[in-house]
Amino acid sequence: MKCSEVEGWISDFVDNELRGEREEKVRAHIEECGNCRKLYKLELSTKDLVKSISSTGSPAGLRERILASITDADTSVQDDEKIIKPLPWVWGFVSKRSVTFATAAVVLIFAAVFLYVTGIFGGLKISPFIDSVYAYHAGPSGIELNIQGGYEQIQKELSNHLQRKIPVPSLDDINFKVEGANAGLKMEGRHCAVVRYESDKEKFSHFVICSTDVPINKLPGIKGKPDFRYTSRNGINMVFWTCKATKTTRCVALKCPMDELVEIVEQIRRRSREMSKK
Amino acid sequence: MSAASVKKMTDSKNGKKQKEFEETALVHLDLLYNSALQMTRNPQDAEDLIQETFLRAYRFFDKFERGTNCKAWLFKIMRNNFINQYRKKAKEPARVDFDEIENAYIADIKEVLSDESRGDIEKIFNNMVEDDIKTAVESLPDEFRMAIILSDIEGFSYQEIADIAECPIGTVRSRISRGRKFLQKKLYDFAKKKGIIKADK
């Protein structure tokens, strides 16, 4: 094994990630080669240094505060199971942005929602990891990934997300279903839609709120009557059409459970109504 | 059934759930706090992050597959929470040009390694004070910092980190390897500044 090759494996070697022949070769090389041994020692001490800054234990009382908060959670669920809790990040999102919304002409918040759903709307099963929000902004305050690659990027995201479970089919194999409840909804000159990714070959579904350059009903593939309708628990009517999304349609993603999705949609609509009044 | 007896039943059910949660999840509190502190760089934010993480974990505890790695599950929830809540607030360090750093690093470090008169690299690292190390770690971009913390402090394997960060294992490899180079470069610069390493002969 050459030095340049060994250099590339040193992190893996230090982290005990190499197996079999490669591990042996790297080990043998490090034993023989003084320079690589130094690099190895350097890597090892770096790892040890990081280890050394780990603090000891959590602050006093934190454990008790956590226990108190979960007891509270149990009580509030009992008291009021049906109420959808306000979403702090949504409020923050809207209030922080209100100035930006009003002033900046180019704030494009591309929001999309991944929902990990098994079955169609019958039994919603939501993974605990999907209920967090991944907001990808093209706007000035967005520090998250900025997805500008259109559906290819979304596909990549999906693939990252699902790679250990299901291979993501090619775009041509995916039907896009566009939700019509937001048809015509304008966000800074753009339109929003909720798109459901679906594949007959693979069993998974995702919801994505996306912004498009054209009104929803003008999206390619939107024709005639919707495929089906769905009314959410808090009364938002969603209408789905089958449609083929264009590759130029840009969208970005939020991940959240159905409750939050509905809440987001509602927020966006409210926001949009306020905007149109002005 | 009276309201009181319903309440009693729910209470005992919740009591059982809480007890299991304490034994399975809450035992990892110290470990999680540790990483939360490195991620948020601030004790108050770390505490908030931890509280939210455990609250969320508790809400979804029914969905946790018993017998699987609870620690990794908690870290995954924490990572998602962190990205959603704190990354927006936290001041993002300036974008790091890793290629540039890598090149500069390789030149510097190779020179040091090949010239014994400048001192032993291990000795240099042994002389590092905790604050310098912390500053260096904190200056890493989030995803790199997280990968390194999960690997070096928490002892997760690359595959486990990939699961937690929801990214391919190759990305984890690269983040750890490049993140370490970045750290070495930073620490080397600190040492140079403090005169532990002679800048020039």
Digit-coded pLDDT (tens) for A59-108: 888 888 888 888 877 765 443 333 333 333 343 444 444 444 444 333 33
Cα–Cα distance between A226 and B179 in angstroms, integer?
50
Per-residue pLDDT at A249 exceeds 90: no
The CA-atom distances, in angstroms, between A79 and each of A56, A60, A82, A83 are 38, 30, 9, 10
Per-residue pLDDT at A200 exceeds 50: no
Per-residue pLDDT at A112 exceeds 90: no
- More reliable by pLDDT, A156 or A55: A55
**Mean pLDDT along residues A179-206:** 35
CB A259 within 8 Å of CB A134: no
Which chain A residues are closer than 8 Å to B47 by Cβ?
59, 62
Which chain B residues are closer than 8 Å to A59 by Cβ?
33, 43, 47
Could you give the angle at the alpha carbon of A121 between the alpha carbons of B78 and A259, nearest 5°?
A: 40
A20 torsion bin: left (phi>0), alpha (psi -120 to 50), beta (else)? left
Tell me which residues of chain A, numbers 193 to 252, contact chain B at a CB-CB cutoff of 8 Å. none
Per-residue pLDDT at A153 exceeds 60: no
Residue B177 distance to chain A (closest CA, Å) = 5
Q: Which of A53-57, A270-274, B97-101 has the highest mean pLDDT?
A: A53-57
The closest of B122, B117, B126, B127 to B200, measured between CA atoms, is: B117
Per-residue pLDDT at B99 exceeds 80: no
Cα–Cα distance between B95 and A262 in angstroms, integer?
35
Q: Which range, of A110-114, A127-131, A271-275, B190-194, averages the lowest pLDDT? A: A127-131
Model confidence pLDDT, tens digit, residues B160-185: 998 888 888 888 998 898 888 888 88
Q: Which range, of A131-140, A154-163, B56-65, averages the lowest pLDDT? A: A131-140
Cα–Cα distance between B165 and B150 in angstroms, integer?
10
CB A168 within 8 Å of CB A155: yes
**Mean pLDDT along residues A108-113:** 30
**Mean pLDDT along residues B5-19:** 69
- H helices within chain A, ranges in order? 3-14, 20-32, 34-52, 62-79, 88-103, 151-162, 258-277
- More reliable by pLDDT, A141 or A275: A275
Q: Which range, of A15-29, A134-148, B111-125, averages the lowest pLDDT? A: A134-148
Kindly state whether A161 is in contact with chain B, defined as any CB-CB distance less than 8 angstroms. yes
Kindly state whether B8 is in contact with chain A, defined as any CB-CB distance less than 8 angstroms. no
Residue A143 distance to chain B (closest CA, Å) = 7
Per-residue pLDDT at B140 exceeds 70: yes
Residue of B26, B57, B151 lying closest to A63 (CB–CB): B26
Kindly state whether B63 is in contact with chain A, defined as any CB-CB distance less than 8 angstroms. yes
The closest of A175, A52, A192 to B136, measured between CA atoms, is: A52
Kindly state whether B85 is in contact with chain A, defined as any CB-CB distance less than 8 angstroms. yes
Q: Which of A63-72, A156-165, B93-102 has the highest mean pLDDT?
A: A63-72
Cross-chain residue pair A70–B54, CB shorter than 8 Å:
yes
Kindly state whether B101 is in contact with chain A, defined as any CB-CB distance less than 8 angstroms. no
pLDDT band at B5 (very low <50, low <70, confident <90, very high): low
Residue A38 distance to chain B (closest CA, Å) = 7
The closest of A208, A200, A204 to A172, measured between CA atoms, is: A200
The ipTM assigned to this model is 0.81
Give the per-residue pLDDT at A137. 22
Give the per-residue pLDDT at A7. 86
Nearest chain B residue to A50 by CA distance is B152
**Mean pLDDT along residues B63-80:** 86
Give the per-residue pLDDT at B48. 87
Kindly state whether B87 is in contact with chain A, defined as any CB-CB distance less than 8 angstroms. yes
Per-residue pLDDT at B38 exceeds 60: yes
Per-residue pLDDT at A56 exceeds 50: yes
Mean pLDDT of chain A: 50
Q: For chain B, what percent of residues have pLDDT higher than 70? A: 72
**Mean pLDDT along residues B68-93:** 75
Cα–Cα distance between B26 and A66 in angstroms, integer?
9
Cross-chain residue pair B81–A70, CB shorter than 8 Å:
no
Cross-chain residue pair B168–A51, CB shorter than 8 Å:
no
Q: Which of A271-275, B110-114, B132-136 has the highest mean pLDDT?
A: B132-136
Cα–Cα distance between A95 and A235 in angstroms, integer?
24
Token readout for A23 is: 């591990």
Give the per-residue pLDDT at B52. 86
Kindly state whether B77 is in contact with chain A, defined as any CB-CB distance less than 8 angstroms. yes
Give the per-residue pLDDT at B82. 83
- More reliable by pLDDT, A45 or A170: A45
pLDDT band at A24 (very low <50, low <70, confident <90, very high): very high
Kindly state whether B157 is in contact with chain A, defined as any CB-CB distance less than 8 angstroms. yes
Per-residue pLDDT at B121 exceeds 90: no
Its sign, for the CA torsion A36, A38, A39, A40, is: positive
Kindly state whether B163 is in contact with chain A, defined as any CB-CB distance less than 8 angstroms. yes
pTM above threshold 0.80: no
Kindly state whether B66 is in contact with chain A, defined as any CB-CB distance less than 8 angstroms. no
Cα–Cα distance between A53 and A57 in angstroms, integer?
12
Per-residue pLDDT at B36 exceeds 60: yes
Per-residue pLDDT at A26 exceeds 90: yes
Give the per-residue pLDDT at A14. 93
Per-residue pLDDT at B41 exceeds 90: no
Nearest chain B residue to A75 by CA distance is B11
**Mean pLDDT along residues A52-65:** 82
Q: Which of B30, B76, B116, B181 to mutate to test binding with chain A, by most A CBs within 10 Å of its CB?
A: B30
